């Protein structure tokens, strides 16, 4: 049954409220007191301290819809039907309260009773050794044993360093043969877009010491994660995440600006999906206080914006346009995330400034790259040229690498890194030599801007000037 993305979010959260969970707002994309992570990438990430017991949760049962960024998936975005660098993750959590029996039963109830998903399209995976989960899924929940697939550590054991960890069960939806890769071994766990993993139910029952010992925890936890856009994609029967109702409106806006129609040209469709994704992730990142810069989170933001700008060029858009599209991102999300509407002026201004500064040099940079690609028999782009592209034309190294990789070429990264280091040292020496203490303070300030959170418009102007 067709259900809108906003309605699906509400159905999930109120279902788990009816099971005694406390609904919390999404946490910020910027991790708090956690240096192990650049950006929040799952529902459980901002709640780690509730799991370890360092902090007492407001209730033992919590449910959230968490904004997530996963830049490691960037190369898959626009190519697969199911990956974005930005997505929302629905989750229900038990901090030492309920465990496998309830988590599995409720997950199944939500899928088959609340959402009415056809049982013959659903598959469940368990961790190889997890016979307990097998028993529960088949005997208590009542799933046909032939629809349960045992997978190894990579897919079905959740572990990050030491601390709480454990096996998991994932729920997959079979979208049908037309999405299959055609391989005779295609099935659950295949990397194609036919069997889509949409829900991960983690049974965190061990407390690993990081040395291979897994003592069981006295009060095991539950941590689940379901991609809201993936769920909507399934429920709406659309081809990919970017055709989900609210997301599609963003892509349509880009189509209008570019004067292209989605579905006419596979290459342009990739660019449309990439821009749709990147403008979503950057709008939300800025909304949470990330500022463009050359390192850390700010670099991620800058890289996403410039990558989106380049895909705009591939669509034939020869003007700045991302700030306009950000308006649609805000409109489509402001009910669930009112902070976007409150920060609308700041978000669109910052994107506009960043985009304009790149617009001045992007065409020359692209020209330089393509003349090199066309005229040189060399498969390795020199580090010096990559440095010049970065320094003079504002091309993040990842963007240069990506454009070259499209033609089977690489960059001399060693040389690039050496030149970057040299430049940093020169800048440091120059500051010392200048001897003007009055300026020293300011350049230090500007250097630090990247890692700071948004503190007000004053800082934004400061960072805009350095671009
Ligand atoms: P996949 O194997 O498809 O990359 P995953 O196993 O990495 O997914 P989990 O870490 O288990 O994903 O996250 C829980 C859920 O979040 C997934 O089941 C999926 O619904 C959703 N999800 C994960 N990565 C993405 C992404 N890049 N874009 C959209 N949704 C995602
Ligand atoms: Mg993944
Ligand atoms: Mg997976
Ligand atoms: Mg998973």
Three-state SS across the chain?
Answer: CCCCHHHHHHHHHHHHHHCCCEEECCCCCCCCCCCCCCCCCCCCHHHHHHHHCCCCCCCCEEEEEEEEECHHHHHHCCCCCCCCCEEEEEEEEECCCCCHHHHHHHHHHHHHHHCCCCHHHEEEEEECCCHHHHHHHHHHCCCCHHHEEEECHHHHEECCCCEEEEEEEEEEEECCHHHCCCCCCCCCCCCCCCEEEEEEEEEEEEEECCCCCCCEEEEEEEEEEEEHHHHHHHHHCCCCHHHCHHHHHHHHHHHHHHCCCCCCCHHHHHHHHHHHHHHHHHHHHHHCCCCCCCCHHHHHHHHHHHHHHHHHHHCCCCCCCHHHHHHHHHHHHCCCCHHHHHCHHHHHHHHHHHHHHHHHHHHHHHHHHHHHHHHCCCCEECHHHHHHHHHHHCCCHHHHHHHHHCCCCEECHHHHHHHHHHHHHHHHHHHHHHCCHHHHHHHHHHHHHHHCCCCCHHHHHHHHHHC
- CA 20 / ligand 4 centre spacing (Å): 25
* Tokens linked to 432: 């010392």
pLDDT-wise least confident of 4-8, 74-78, 438-442: 438-442
In short, whether 77's Cβ falls inside 6 Å of ligand 1 is: no
Mean pLDDT score of the chain: 91
Pocket-testing residue among 44, 93, 168, 230, ligand 1, by greatest number of atoms within 8 A of Cβ: 230
Question: Quick one: pLDDT at residue 161?
Answer: 78
Q: Is the CB of 280 under 6 A from ligand 1?
A: no
Instruction: Report which protein residue has its CA nearest ligand 1's atom 31.
Output: 227
pLDDT digits (tens, 9 = 90+) for 390-404: 999 999 999 999 999
Nearest residue (CA) to ligand 1, atom 11: 200
Q: Which atom from ligand 1 is nearest to the alpha carbon of 225?
A: 14
- Tell me the C-alpha to C-alpha distance, in Å, between residue 189 and each of 1, 75, 151, 157, 229: 26, 19, 8, 14, 19
Residue range 192-211: mean pLDDT, rounded: 94
Query: Does residue 234 have a pLDDT over 80?
Result: yes
Cβ neighbours, 10 Å, residue 281? 29
Region of poorest pLDDT, from 187-201, 346-360, 452-466: 452-466
* C-alpha–C-alpha distance, residues 126 and 103, integer Å: 14
CA distance 122 to 141: 13
Residue 433 has pLDDT above 90, yes or no: no
Q: Encoding tokens for residue 374?
A: 């066309």
Give yes or no for residue 16 having a pLDDT over 50: yes
pLDDT at 434: 65
pLDDT of residue 467: 32
CA of 284 to the centre of ligand 4 (A): 23
User: pLDDT above 90 covers what percent of the chain?
Assistant: 82
Is 88 within 8 Å of 247 (Cβ atoms)?
no
Res 127 pLDDT > 80: yes
Distance in Å, CA 198 to ligand 4 centroid: 8
Of 424, 459, 443, the residue nearest 291 (C-alpha)? 459
Nearest residue by C-alpha to atom 26 in ligand 1: 83
Q: Is the pLDDT of residue 388 over 80?
A: yes
Query: What is the per-residue pLDDT for 454?
Result: 39
Contact indicator for 304, 364 with CB cutoff of 8 Å: no
Q: How confident is the model at residue 348 (pLDDT cuts 50, 70, 90)?
A: very high
Protein residue with least CA distance to atom 13, ligand 1: 225
Binding site membership of 225 for ligand 1 (Cβ less than 6 Å): yes
State yes or no: pLDDT of 378 exceeds 50. yes
Q: Is the pLDDT of residue 438 over 60?
A: no
Any atom of ligand 1 within 6 Å of the Cβ of 192: no
Model confidence over 262-275: pLDDT tens digits? Answer: 999 999 999 999 99
Atom of ligand 1 nearest to the CA of 86: 28
Instruction: Answer for the pair 349, 327: CB distance below 8 angstroms, yes or no.
Output: no
Counting from 1 in the atom list of ligand 1, the atom nearest the Cα of 170 is 18
- Residue range 188-207: mean pLDDT, rounded: 95
Q: Is 117 left (phi over 0), alpha (psi -120 to 50) or beta?
A: beta
Is there an atom of ligand 1 within 6 Å of 198 CB?
yes
Which residue has the least CA distance to atom 30 on ligand 1?
227
pLDDT at residue 435, as a whole number: 58
**Residue 90 CA, ligand 1 centroid: distance in Å:** 11
Segment 416-429 mean pLDDT: 92
Residue with the nearest Cα to atom 12 of ligand 1? 200
The confidence score (pLDDT) of residue 59 equals 98
Cβ–ligand 1 distance for 277 under 6 Å, the answer no
Residue 432: pLDDT band by 50, 70, 90 thresholds? confident
Span 140-169, mean pLDDT? 92
Instruction: Give the integer Cα–Cα distance in Å for 108 and 115.
Output: 10
Atom 25, ligand 1: residue with shortest CA distance: 83
* Confidence at residue 442, expressed as pLDDT on a 0 to 100 scale: 43
Cα 200 to middle of ligand 1, angstroms: 8
> Residue 445: pLDDT band by 50, 70, 90 thresholds?
very low
Tell me the pLDDT band of 280, cut-offs 50, 70 and 90.
very high
The CB of 88 under 6 Å from ligand 1? The reply is no
Tokens read off for 144: 């046909």
* Predicted pLDDT at 463: 40
Decide if 4 contacts 238 (C-beta within 8 A): no
Lowest mean pLDDT among 49-53, 385-389, 418-422: 49-53
Query: What's the CA-to-centroid distance between 128 and ligand 4, angstroms?
Result: 15
- The β-bridge partners of 306 are none
Q: How far is CA 10 from CA 45, 64, 69, 94, in A?
A: 22, 10, 21, 20
CA of 146 to the centre of ligand 3 (A): 20
pLDDT digits (tens, 9 = 90+) for 83-103: 999 999 999 999 999 999 999
Q: How confident is the model at residue 17 (pLDDT cuts 50, 70, 90)?
A: very high
Query: Would you say the ipTM is above 0.90?
Result: yes
Which pLDDT belongs to residue 377? Answer: 81
Among 79, 190, 225, which residue has the most ligand 1 atoms within 8 Å of its CB, making it the best to mutate?
Answer: 225
- Contact assessment for residue 254 and residue 272, using Cβ atoms and an 8 Å cutoff: yes
Contact 119/250 with Cβ under 8 angstroms?
A: no
pLDDT average, residue stretch 144-155: 95
Q: What is the mean pLDDT of residues 316-345?
A: 97
CA–centroid distance, residue 153 to ligand 3 (Å): 11
């Amino acid at each position: 049954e067709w259900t809108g993305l906003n309605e699906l979010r509400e159905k999930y959260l109120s279902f788990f409220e009816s099971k005694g969970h406390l609904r919390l707002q999404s946490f910020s994309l910027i991790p708090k007191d956690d240096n192990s992570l650049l950006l929040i990438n799952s529902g459980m990430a901002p709640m780690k301290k509730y799991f370890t017991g360092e902090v007492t949760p407001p209730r033992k049962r919590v449910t959230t819809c968490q904004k997530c960024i996963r830049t490691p998936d960037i190369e898959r975005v626009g190519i697969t039907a199911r990956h974005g660098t930005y997505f929302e993750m629905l989750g229900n959590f038990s901090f030492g309260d309920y465990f496998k029996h309830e988590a599995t039963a409720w997950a199944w109830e939500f899928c088959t009773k609340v959402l009415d998903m056809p049982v013959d399209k659903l598959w469940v995976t368990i961790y190889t050794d997890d016979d307990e989960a097998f028993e529960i899924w088949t005997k208590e929940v009542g799933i046909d044993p032939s629809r349960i697939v045992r997978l190894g550590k990579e897919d079905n054991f959740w572990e990050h360093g030491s601390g709480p960890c454990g096996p998991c069960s994932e729920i997959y939806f079979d979208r049908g043969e037309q999405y299959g890769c055609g391989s005779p071994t295609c099935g659950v766990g295949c990397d194609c877009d036919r069997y889509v993993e949409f829900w991960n139910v983690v049974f965190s029952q061990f407390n690993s010491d990081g040395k291979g010992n897994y003592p069981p925890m006295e009060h095991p936890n539950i941590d689940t994660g379901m991609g809201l856009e993936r769920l909507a994609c399934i429920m709406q029967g659309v081809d990919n995440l970017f055709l989900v109702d609210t997301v599609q409106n963003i892509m349509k806006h880009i189509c209008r600006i570019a004067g292209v129609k989605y579905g006419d040209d596979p290459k342009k469709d990739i660019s449309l999906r990439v821009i749709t994704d990147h403008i979503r992730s950057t709008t939300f990142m800025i909304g949470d206080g990330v500022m463009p810069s050359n390192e850390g989170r700010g670099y991620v933001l800058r890289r996403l914006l410039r990558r989106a700008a380049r895909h705009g060029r591939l669509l034939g858009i020869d003007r700045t346009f991302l700030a306009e599209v950000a308006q649609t991102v805000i409109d489509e999300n402001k009910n669930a995330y009112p902070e976007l509407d409150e920060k609308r002026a700041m978000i669109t201004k910052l994107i506009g400034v960043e985009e304009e500064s790149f617009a001045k040099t992007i065409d020359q940079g692209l020209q330089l790259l393509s003349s090199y690609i066309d005229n040189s028999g060399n498969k390795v782009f020199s580090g010096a040229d990559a440095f010049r592209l970065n320094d003079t034309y504002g091309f993040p190294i990842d963007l240069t690498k990506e454009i070259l990789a499209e033609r089977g070429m690489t960059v001399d990264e060693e040389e690039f890194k050496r030149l970057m280091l040299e430049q940093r040292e020169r800048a440091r020496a120059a500051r010392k030599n200048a001897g003007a203490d009055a300026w020293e303070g300011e350049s230090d300030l500007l250097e630090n801007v990247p890692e700071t959170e948004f503190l007000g418009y004053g800082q934004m102007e400061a960072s805009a000037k350095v671009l």
